[in-house]
Every structure is written in C-alpha cells, then in structure tokens.
Amino acid sequence: MSGGGLLVAGTTSDAGKSVVTAGICRWLVRQGVKVAPFKAQNMSLNSFVTREGAEIGRAQAMQAQACRVEPTALMNPVLLKPGGERSSQVVLMGRPVGEMSARGYHGGRQERLLGTVLDCLERLRGTYDAVICEGAGSPAEINLRRTDIVNMGIARNAGLPVLVVGDIDRGGVFASFFGTVALLSPEDQALVAGFLVNKFRGDVSLLEPGLDMLHGLTGRRTYGVLPFRHGLGIDEEDGLRVSLRGTVRESRVAAPVGEDVLRVAVCAVPLMSNFTDVDALAAEPGVVVRFVDRPEELADADLVVVPGTRGTVRALEWLRERGLADALRRRAAEGRPVLGICGGFQVLGEHIEDDVESRRGQVEGLGILPVRVRFAREKTLTRPSGEALGEPVEGYEIHHGVAEVLGGEAFLDGCRVGQTWGTHWHGSQESDAFRRAFLREVARAAGRRFVPAPDTSFAALREEQLDRLGDLIEQHADTDALWRLIESGAPTGLPFIPPGAPA
C-alpha cells in the first residue's frame, strides 16, 4: 500500500516552498512518521552527492536531513544545471545525460521523463508513510502546463493534494492565491486543497478577515500563517539573493572569541555553484562573509574565496574583465590568503583544456597554482574523506575538470603554495576541527588576532535550523488538517473558479 503524500506548490519562485517542505518533514518525523522529500525536477547550481555517487539538488539533501534519512537520487530524479541563458545540463537519476536548450527540453524531453519521475515517487511512497513533494516556480505557468512534470502534472498523475504557499512579505498574496487557482483547469483545481501564508509580520487578527473572504471566493481554507523569521532559508535553488538570506548568515551575529574579526570576500563569479560552501565559515563567531565583484573590495579581506562555477572559462574571463584576476595575483604574491574551490581552484591553475564545458580548447589560467586542468566528459561525483592540517575532513566532488598537480604542498586533492589553497572538495569547511585549523592559518597569515570558537558545530546549527522550521509548522499551521490532507487527499467538492486554464 502506498504512503500518503502532499505537493507543496507556490504562487511564485522563492515563495518558501523548500522551507515549508523541510518544516513539514521535520514536524512529521518528530511525530514518529517515516517521511521522505521529493522534487521531480529541480533547476539549481547548488547540488550534492549522495553516498551512492548520485548528484541531486542541495535543497532535497537538506530536506532528507529534515526527515533524518539518507538522501538518494529517487528524491530528485531530474536536476537541471544552467550553463547559460538558454541551456542546461540535464542530470537524470544522479548522472549527467547531456546539454539541452530550454526549447528542446520543454519541446518533448520533459514529457518523456514523466514515467521515470512517477516511478521514483511510487517507490518512495511504497517505502515511507508519507512523501512531501516540492513543486517548482508556480503551478499556473499556463505556457508550460502541457509538459509539466513537477507541479500539477505530477499531482494529477499521482493523485496528490496540493498546498499553495504565498509570500505575503512581497504583497499581493490574496490576488496571487486567487489567480493561481483561477488559471488552472477544473481537473487541476480539484486537487488544490488550500493555502499557506508565509513570512507574515504583525497581528494575525488583522489578516483573518482577508482569509475568510479568500475562503468565500475560492471555497478553500488557509492551513496556516507562518510568521516572518530571519535566517530560516535552507540550501535552496539559485540566486545570490537566496544565499545571502540563507541558513547561517542571518541566524546570529556572535562576537569573536579573540580580539579581531576575520573578513572573508567571496568572488561572485558567473554561474556560481555550491556557494553554500561558505556558510560553514560564516557559522563561526567573528567571521564576516560578503560577496564581491570589484578588486577594491578585496583590499581589506583577510581571506578571498573563489567559489565553484558551472562555467570555469567564463568565470576566468569575468575575473580578468573586472580586474579581479590581477588583484588575486597580487594577493598571492604578497602571501595573503586565497582559497579556490572546484571551478575556483581550476582558474588559479596554469592552463585549462576545455573541450567539454565551454569548448574553448586551451585557455591560460591565472598561473597562481602549479596545476593543469583537462575537462573530461565523464563527471566526477564522489564523497572523499581524509586528513588535512592534522584534522579529519570530509567533502564531496562534482566536476568535469581533472587536475594534474605539478608542485606545491598537498592539500586535500589539490595543492597549496604559500597562502594560496586549491581543492575540488566542496563542503570541507563543514568539518569543524579542520575549519578551525584552517581559520587559524588564515588569521596568522593575515596578522589578525582572531581565534576560532572551540565549540561551534556546523551540524548542530543545521539541526537547530531544521527544528526551528518544524516548530513553525507545529505552532502556526493546522497540523491535524495537514495530516488529513497527507493521509486522505484533497477534500471532495471543491468549487471550480473561472475562467480556468486557457483551451
């Protein structure tokens, strides 16, 4: 017998679907329910590697953590990784299967993936008591409904009730709720059970007349009003705005343990991927993280991070155009700390041979590290572990570039020359003892009297974050009604709201 299910949709992108999904998952698991997350199709440059070596969206990995289960490819069968304005790498069941334009994907490929997506969902529902699914964008994208496999397409095929989340902080939430339902076909509308208001500030009693009117207009109730809380973002989809509003960076501002703070500047390269790597740095009391795009912004930085990117050669050109390439070379020559991660590591090398990602052939790197990179068609997807700076460290690798290290001091899978460090490992800073050892080295090289806190646990902060999301659902949503939805599906007899979807 299949377990229960729910699709969390949104009136817009960034309405809070990922956060609400994680919150519902954490609330359920605390009630003893065996639950799993699911997102049929994710578009993101923030990805993660499962233990079996599959690449999935980081949001689903975090939602799996909210469920206290290991993430698997079943939880995110289709991942699209943008490589420019018009094309993306398609990752199917954790493995890349090629590049495709948006027109090509929506023109037929997406529909053909519906069977795979439904099979993954059914397998999860056969294993878990409940599966909480996350939609993408808005379910009322009428131009894409025919090929949809992530919103009403999956809800219709799997018989899932739909909860629509709206961000009231943006304004216009009532119109967004009503308009979302009114642009769906009668068959789709029959699955839209109701609404959830997100990011409300103020006195809920002032909102209640509007919720009553919305119920009168649509025949659908509101299942909860979640208050605005700082620092509740998890590893969501793309956008620097999302990251800066994210998990740890807004959670608290703690005074440094030592006499100085440590300033970290992250180069905001194009197609930046896994910029969540710096969240663990920002978790340390006294570490200030900011994203930069001008060379003068590196002047007072104690550490500069060149993060991962889906476009290594494009990022290299951007660094040169902005004057950041010369600034990085000067820093390295002066012995001031620089950390390159994945694509950021590759640009610091001597040269890049790329016939895969950019197809530009031989390209000169910044020449800061003695490394040569050749792009392979096969993507490296691993979960390495080891020791560095005398401490245990774990990470994950997602890259086509194969690095040949020709010198320097060994550092993870890369190297170190002076105070310039390079590695393909994402997530290494989440290893607490290693992170503290690394920050001590940076502080010493920068001449800062900064001392890492002895007890910061990044994993504990993540758990605290997920519990706060669970608390939001438990305290501000009608959980009895939510469980009835998950267990029994959408209420019968929901009214049709004209005009419905265009013919």
**DSSP codes, 26-41:** HHHHHTT--EEEE-SE
Report the pLDDT value the prediction gives residue 253, as an integer from 0 to 100: 54
pLDDT (average), residues 435-456: 95
Distances (CA, A) of 470 to 22, 296, 437: 8, 42, 33
Please measure the distance between the N-terminal and C-terminal CA atoms of the chain and give it in whole angstroms: 36
Please provide the DSSP assignment of 376-393 as one string.
EEEEEEE--EEEETTEEE
Which member of 67, 120, 342, 415 is catalytic? 342
Q: How many angstroms separate the CA atoms of 175 and 12, rounded?
A: 12
Helix axes 17-30, 479-488, angle to 10 degrees: 90
Contacts of 254 (CB under 8 A, 6+ apart): 285, 286, 453
Report the pLDDT value the prediction gives residue 246, as an integer from 0 to 100: 39
Report the pLDDT value the prediction gives residue 105, as an integer from 0 to 100: 63
Report the pLDDT value the prediction gives residue 240, as an integer from 0 to 100: 40
Identify the DSSP state of 424: S
Neighbours of 406 (CB within 10 A): 12
Q: How many angstroms separate the CA atoms of 83 and 414, rounded?
A: 25
Contacts of 396 (CB under 8 A, 6+ apart): 48, 49, 382, 383, 384, 425, 426, 427
| 162-167/192-200 β-pairing | parallel
Beta strands in 209-297 (DSSP E): 221-227, 262-267, 272-273, 287-292
Report the pLDDT value the prediction gives residue 104, as an integer from 0 to 100: 63
- Say yes or no to pLDDT of 59 above 50: yes
Residue 6 has which token pair?
Answer: 């729910």
Q: How many angstroms separate the CA atoms of 197 and 477, rounded?
A: 10
Cβ–Cβ under 8 Å, residues 290 and 264: yes
Q: How many angstroms separate the CA atoms of 94 and 79, rounded?
A: 8
Beta bridge partners of 198: 167
Structure confidence at residue 239 as a pLDDT band (50, 70, 90): very low
Report the pLDDT value the prediction gives residue 229, as an integer from 0 to 100: 83
Contacts of 7 (CB under 8 A, 6+ apart): 133, 134, 135, 151, 154, 155, 160, 161, 162, 163, 191
| Residue 342 falls in the annotated catalytic set | yes
Q: Percentages helix, strand, coil for the chain, rounded to the nearest 5? A: 35, 30, 35
Neighbours of 84 (CB within 10 A): 14
Contacts of 394 (CB under 8 A, 6+ apart): 383, 384, 385, 427, 428, 430, 431
Q: How many angstroms separate the CA atoms of 147 and 415, rounded?
A: 46
Structure confidence at residue 85 as a pLDDT band (50, 70, 90): low
Interval 37-56: pLDDT, tens: 999 999 988 899 999 999 99
Q: How many angstroms separate the CA atoms of 38 and 347, rounded?
A: 35
CA angle 486, 484, 494 (to 5 degrees): 90
- Say yes or no to pLDDT of 248 above 60: no
Query: Over pLDDT 70: what percentage of the chain?
Result: 93
pLDDT (average), residues 184-207: 96
The dihedrals phi and psi of 44, each to the nearest 5 degrees, come to -165, 150
Beta strands in 135-191 (DSSP E): 162-167
Interval 266-317: pLDDT, tens: 999 999 988 889 999 998 999 999 999 999 999 999 999 999 999 999 999 9
pLDDT (average), residues 382-407: 95
Query: Over pLDDT 90: what percentage of the chain?
Result: 82
Q: How many angstroms separate the CA atoms of 81 and 88, rounded?
A: 5
Interval 100-131: pLDDT, tens: 776 666 556 677 899 999 999 999 999 999 99
Report the pLDDT value the prediction gives residue 106, as an integer from 0 to 100: 59
SS3 state of residue 146:
helix
pLDDT (average), residues 151-179: 96
Q: Return the higher-pLDDT residue of 257 and 488.
A: 488
Contacts of 24 (CB under 8 A, 6+ apart): 6, 8, 132, 473, 482
Residue 302 has which token pair?
Answer: 């104690």
pLDDT (average), residues 322-329: 97
Q: How many angstroms separate the CA atoms of 220 and 205, rounded?
A: 19
Report the pLDDT value the prediction gives residue 107, as an integer from 0 to 100: 59
Identify the DSSP state of 454: T
The dihedrals phi and psi of 299, each to the nearest 5 degrees, come to -60, -45
pLDDT, mean over the chain:
91
Which run of H or of E encompasses 371? Answer: strand 371-382
Cβ–Cβ under 8 Å, residues 17 and 42: no
Polymer length in residues for the chain: 503
Which member of 399, 400, 424, 426 is catalytic? 426
